[in-house]
Chains A and B, each alone.
Chain A
């Protein structure tokens, strides 16, 4: 499996503000790669550099083996993208905008194209005859999505592609990305702060914070960072033995249920005890990236880059490196 995107020690500064601070990102061929991070972490800046819209201050980036800044035109024939903040021409209809973008990419706007376009419009429940200014945020997003999906590409760079879409449309999107990945073998880099969508789609994830990758790997390999939530009916069960286990955290009793978190990679060590206690109404909730996120960023909410601190100086943020345990 080759590497499709590789950045090494990528830096990007806007004046005093460091948007990217030594970013090392690797996306392999054929995978759906989740690019996770809070607002202002540098996701869009990274994608803009990968598209050759912005130039790295230092460090290297290669996309499909090319330099995204120097070989932008050549690369864009093979790359489809959805920008983070979609705006379209107010006086062009959605259909016109989609056609224009497809033609710019060199796609043949023939019968097969028309069919695909119509099919996607129906899938996304999108009316292409309205003028750009009349679309809601979600519909503008659909223009960019349909334009990106209608012409096949080797690599898809999607910057928070489902923002503004309703859950139904999110499901359509998830299905389409899965199809691209399975049937066409396309590579997808998907930035998001919507964790459930990455969880559903991504083979591997990279977590970005303050302009650098703080963690990454397959979802499974990240499980060590999360806790699985286990709960069961109180039913006069004696929980003292359970509470004594060091895999068990934050044991509470609420509304007649006993609830605790267990280290996700050690859940199996807790199960025998639960069996011997004969618990009823057992619920085991799988770890979510939500929780993973909380543990990365839960202690503080970082300001967006460029946002000055109270003393007016640009805030130089430090992230807490999560100690890796196990796996």
Chain B
């Protein structure tokens, strides 16, 4: 038991900042949601209107949840819970893989297993660590909702529903770690399962049965195959029932049981599915730093593009659904207008612009990741292999940035393609169809800034590249996309590149923000490349 305790404390120590920021972000988001909804949809009438729109629009239900009436607390749960649960899922799958498969992959697990800790103490410590983390998460989310002024009992149920989903995905992450030989694969497959869970419940909600007044609904069967769906079935604030969470606990327990069965039979470091072997010779295109950057990131780029395509499909179907079912609603239009910081455009255009910002964020994240790969190469030592060859540092960094730019463009292209396909399929012939390409183009400058900004950091302050890269993106997203909704000062909101993304409105589009940002991105990139020749290669 003492070894479990020691390993538990080691996990706590290792994760203290990471878990703290996960838990705080999720809880603050819950509180944020209450605040934002109070500000935008303060009275029940406007909430009822939004609910009627939502229940009539499957695409909105996919992104939101299960409508349970226009009361403020139930409405908040409808709006934000699925997203909270999704984040809790990510927090847990990453945590599970980090302490199991990643440890085995790095060889550290051998070090620990060879001590008195043996094979079981590390697993027990990880499970304990996950249990405690999800209890804390539940409490934090409950406090977040309560802090916004929602009903305490319902807040606790909502908190527990978040923590239970987290626990279920802790199990999924642990199980994935048994099957795959690399932490990358284990993380990838558990993230994919999490997205499937999110979409399954989205599908179940979208095809659910809506009450005649359009205010409440019951989910269809697919929701019952998703842990996030189980969390929604608690009917927090309206029904406050806890039994659906037993399903999530059961899933977690079942996963751990299978993990134990597998671990009892396998070697330390082995996995159910063995790692594939590779090619003896490189393909002929694998020459030069650009090809290397592509070879290293092809999987990730495909993933980002798929995300962009899905976002586009949802945007397109939402846009067309709105056009067919919805006539002017002042409060919704106002909310969207605050989101995209624009005036005087049609509802559909606004909505496409707002949702394309999600695509823009995906593209920016893809850009950030491309540059962070440089730092990963340097820290791992593989950069040294490459730079000991006749290849200038400028060309090396330039190639990775170049690939980043290409992938940013690809992500937006797939977003536009998805939107265009779904709009065309729905028979929409409005100008919005043509606008999707221009709207996608408009997202590029902000995304390119997120390619150039981390590159500057990489050259002048290498060690900070990874945390600062993601943090800059996070701040930009919060300020640019939620800043207006939260009523933040215009000057602060203007700090975010996303604020300056041009809003496409047919002929009268103001592109100046885009050109400015392109100029800034180019200047930052030039600064990076100019500073490179003075920079050493190292892992400090």
Contact = CB atoms under 8 A, between A and B. Distances in A.
Interface of A: 14, 48, 51, 53-55, 72-77, 79, 81, 83, 85-97, 99-101, 103-106, 109, 114, 128-131, 133-134, 144, 147
Contacts of A134: 181, 275, 277
B287 A87 contact: no
Nearest to A96: B282
A53 B384 CA distance: 7
B387 interface: yes
A109 B390 CA distance: 16
8 contacts: A54-B538, A76-B390, A81-B388, A88-B382, A97-B385, A99-B282, A104-B386, A106-B390
B540 interface: yes
A54 B281 contact: no
A14 B538 CA distance: 12
B501 to A, nearest CB: 34
B391 A73 contact: yes
A10 B392 CA distance: 23
A104 B292 CA distance: 10
The 4 nearest A-B residue pairs measured at CB: A93-B278, A99-B282, A87-B381, A104-B389
B283 to A, nearest CB: 8
B279 interface: yes
A133 B183 CA distance: 11
B182 interface: yes
A48 B381 CA distance: 12
Interface of B: 105, 181-182, 184, 275-282, 286-289, 292, 295-296, 380-382, 384-392, 536-538, 540
Contacts of A99: 281-282, 286
B535 to A, nearest CB: 9
A73 B288 CA distance: 13
A103 B292 CA distance: 11
A208 to B, nearest CB: 20
B388 A83 contact: yes
Nearest to B384: A83
Contacts of A129: 277-280
B391 A76 contact: yes
B391 A131 contact: no
A103 B291 CA distance: 11
Nearest to B540: A14
Tell me the dominant secondary structure on chain B's binding face.
loop
A20 B431 CA distance: 68
Contact of B282 (A55, A87, A95): A95
Nearest to A85: B381
A93 B279 contact: yes
Please indicate which of the listed interface residues A51, A53, A144 has the most CB atoms of chain B within 10 Å of its own CB: A53
B540 A53 contact: no
Contacts of A103: 282, 286-288
Contacts of B276: 131
Please indicate which of the listed interface residues B296, B387, B540 has the most CB atoms of chain A within 10 Å of its own CB: B387
A96 B392 contact: no
A77 B296 CA distance: 24
Given A72-B392, A83-B388, A130 B536 contact: no
A104 B540 contact: no
A131 B277 contact: yes
A79 B387 CA distance: 12
B182 A90 contact: yes
A185 to B, nearest CB: 21
A100 B282 contact: yes
A66 to B, nearest CB: 12
A103 B289 CA distance: 10
Contact of B278 (A51, A106, A130, A147): A130
A81 B278 CA distance: 25
Given A53-B537, A133-B275, A128 B391 contact: no
A100 B286 contact: yes
Contacts of B277: 93, 129-131, 134
Contacts of B389: 76, 101, 104-105
B166 to A, nearest CB: 29
Contacts of A73: 390-392
Contact of B281 (A77, A83, A114, A131): A114
Given A53-B387, A79-B388, A83-B388, 10 more contacts: A55-B536, A74-B390, A92-B295, A96-B278, A99-B286, A101-B389, A104-B287, A114-B281, A129-B280, A131-B278
Contact of A104 (B295, B382, B384, B390): B390
B385 A144 contact: yes
Contacts of B380: 87
Given A89-B296, A92-B278, A134-B275, A77 B381 contact: no
Contacts of B289: 104
Nearest to B289: A104
B282 A104 contact: no
Contacts of A97: 385
Given A73-B390, A133-B105, A83 B381 contact: yes
A128 B280 CA distance: 5
Contact of B288 (A55, A85, A88, A104): A104
B278 A95 contact: yes
A215 to B, nearest CB: 28
